[in-house]
Amino acid sequence: ADREFHLAILKATGNPILQAFDSAIDSILGVLFGVTANHMENFRANLSNHLAVLEAIRLRDPTAAERAMLDTIQFTTEKMKVAKLIE
């Protein structure tokens, strides 16, 4: 469901350049989710970020949507550092 969520957002952007990378983005998401979603506490912790993204989109608030996505990216980056996938 998480991949579908992110790919739906990608499609909703209407950005053809970004959408041209949908297969690559899907592959990257698969790797990232293997790191972040394999522990229930990670899933729960990041769920609030995803709900914030969804709510901002629903309210058509691009500033809040950007902030929520940045929170999600920050969370994932920290988990990747812990897993030693990045420095």
11's CB contacts (< 8 A; 6+ apart) are 19, 22
**One pLDDT digit (tens) per residue for the chain, 87 residues:** 678 888 888 888 889 999 999 999 888 888 777 766 666 677 777 788 889 999 999 999 999 999 999 998 898 888 778 777 666
Question: Residue 38: its pLDDT value, please?
Answer: 65
Question: Residue 40: its pLDDT value, please?
Answer: 65
Q: What one-character DSSP code corresponds to residue 52?
A: H
82/38 Cα distance (integer angstroms): 13
Q: Where are the domains of the chain?
A: 2-82
13/83 Cα distance (integer angstroms): 30
